[in-house]
Structures are given as structure tokens and as C-alpha cells.
Amino acid sequence: MSEDNPPPTQAQGSAIGSGAQSLPEQPMVQETESGQKLLQFLQRRLNLPPTLLHRWVRTGQVRINGSRCKPFARVQTGDIVRLPPFAFKMAEESSATAGPDEPTDFESGARKADSPPLPPMIGTDGYLWAFNKPAGLPTHPGTGHDDSLSSRLAAYFTDAPFKPVPVHRLDKETSGVLLVAASYEALNKAQDALRSGTMSKEYVVWVQGSWPYAETQLLRHFLRKDSAQGYEKVRPAAPGEADSREALCIVRPLRVGARQSLLLVRLLTGRTHQIRVQLAAMGHPVVGDSKYGSAPRRHVPRGGSSLPAPARMGDADKAKLLPAESLLLHALRITMPCGRVFSCLPEWAGEHALEQMPDPVATAETPEHGGGCGAFPLTEQSATNKFLRQ
């Protein structure tokens, strides 16, 4: 890796300095922290309640370069932030109450034996890093699991002024490319690209049944979150239904078999569990998906005949389709607006193995849906592009 694209241990050293040390009386804003609002800077540095920090700023106990400031003023590299003399003691007490961090040998960058490892790194672009997240590792901590990529990053870079954070999320059982920002500027730019649709995210997925379309299709549904029995689940909704949001993706078949099919999916929107819910709504749930594996209704192509629905199969037939508790959904490739590509193949074996990187989903066509939901072929006639925002 080049000096402009440091691996985590090098970037950590440049951000922290030498070893774990007490915070200075008047901390200087580091390059990785530049561009944050003052309140964000203080929260990341001190990990104290926002209301307390806001009061300090409002009463003039916090100053930037000797001058009074507002909570949402932006800090820049080299700024000197003056804090109350008791702030650091409060931060230390708060950190001690929270418990010790995972041990890490910061001098050598080597992980201690009892500290969980970071996933394999795919590549870097300055302070933007790409990891190959394994299936089973959550992106963030949650109910029933403390271990996650974000908690491992926080433990590994415990003394960094700006702790690297995931730019987006992948479901716990989804493997593949996940971006991490090691500076506020990198985080802001990457999330702007996500919101504007200029970042391309592609997945490969094995689905149950024989995919009925030979051509690339636009899938369009409306989805809404429902909370039942103490957990959240997403379901297809009618257009215009309260709290529903439009979900769009483009699907190209890579292999089609009688029992299972391999698809390449490009997301155009980023809804919770979008790929899993949309494919289940089409009657082709993701292989190994215990949450959405039973599709309540199966979409039948216009002019086509009804095909056997995997969701209605007997237990014996389902057992043949489902590998042992493995969700076969993988984040294959992310293409940044600048053209930088981060990609990795899934570690699937046997009949599910994918050994060559497929070509990207074409973006020159315009999806036409006529206001409906379901699958729609891409056309090459229109000069405008309504959904593919590139």
C-alpha cells in the first residue's frame, strides 16, 4: 500500500502519535477530525453527554483559538480547543465506568491474543478503507450481540482522535465489501455519494427456484417496516401506503437452474433488507434466508404461467435448497464516483462457488414501470435516465 493509502496500523499511528497518552489541556484538531461540528468533535474526544458539552460551549467554557464559539461551528486542522480544566477528569471517569477497552499493542500495531481481529482489508483510498466483512459479524452492536465491526474498530483504535466508523451497514449474515471512514471528511464524502446515488453497490445472491427472466430487469416495490413480537420486519406495501418507501434495484441473471439461480443485483435505493424482501416478493427468496424465506405472495410475470413457489414446498424439498443456516447474499463490488472500485468474491464452495468477477450491471438503459410494482425489462430507447443516477 502507498503512503497516501495507509493500512490501519499506520493510519492509527499518524493520527494518535506515540502510544496511549492523556489528552492535552488544550487539544489540537487533527487532520482526521477536520470539518466536524464542534459538538461532534467534543463528543468523540470526551464521550460525555451532549447536553453537558452544549452547556460548556454556551457559557464560554469551550473556546476555539481563544475565541467564543457556537456548538455547530466547524473545527479545522490545527485549531486549538480550550476546555474546562475538569473536562478530562470527567472523561476519564466516564471511560473507567464504561469498562476497559480491548487491549492492543499500539506501538507495533499487533493485535493481542484476546482481542478480536479486524476483517481482511480489501483496499484503501486515503482515509476510506474497504473491508471484507464475514457473514455472522454485525456491522454495529445490538440486542443479543456486543461484538461487531464498529466495536472492533473502536477497540483497535481506542486512542485515535477520530475512531474509524462504518460508512454504511450490511446485515449480520451478509458478507462482502463494507466501507469504513477513518476521518470525518472521508465519512462525509462517502455518505454524500450514497445519498446522491453516485456510489454503485452490487451484490451476488443465490435465490430459490428458476429465475424466469433472461434479460436484465428493474424490480420496483414499496416497502415498510413493521414491528411484531419484539423484532422488526420489512414487508411489501401498496404504493402510497403510510410509512412505505419506494425500493428499486436492477437484477441480471448469472446462472439459472431448476432449483436455484444466481443473480447480480445493483441497488438503486438503500432500504432495510431491500434485496431479501424484494426477491421474496418475486417468489424467489434468498437461499438460507430464514426471516423472509416464506414469501406470502409470488409474483407471476405478465403473460407467464405460475411456477412452483419455493415458499410452498414441503420441508424435505426446502432442506435440499437450503445449505446449513447460510445466507447466500454477498456485497460484491462498490464503485466510487471517482471510479475507484472495491470488490471481493464470496467464499462460497461447491455448486455455489463464484470464481470469476462478473461484469458490472449496465447503466445505459432506462427502466420503464408505468407506475406499477414487480419486474420490468430495461429499455434502450429513452434518452433520459429516471432512476440510474450516474
Question: Torsions phi, psi of 317, nearest 5?
Answer: -70, -40
| The one-letter amino acid at 209 | G
Q: Which of these is catalytic: 171, 192, 243, 315? A: 171
Contact 367, 250 (CB under 8 A): yes
What are all long-range contacts of 45-54, with beta carbons under 8 Å and residues at least 24 apart?
A: 45/91, 45/161, 46/83, 46/87, 46/88, 46/90, 46/91, 46/94, 47/91, 47/94, 47/95, 47/98, 48/87, 48/90, 48/91, 48/94
Measured over the CA atoms of residue 136, residue 232, residue 220 and residue 199, the dihedral's sign is negative
Of residues 71, 78, 83, the one with CA closest to residue 45: 83
Of residues 16, 46, 47, 21, the one with CA closest to residue 32: 16
Q: Is 171 a catalytic residue?
A: yes
Q: Which residues are catalytic?
A: 171
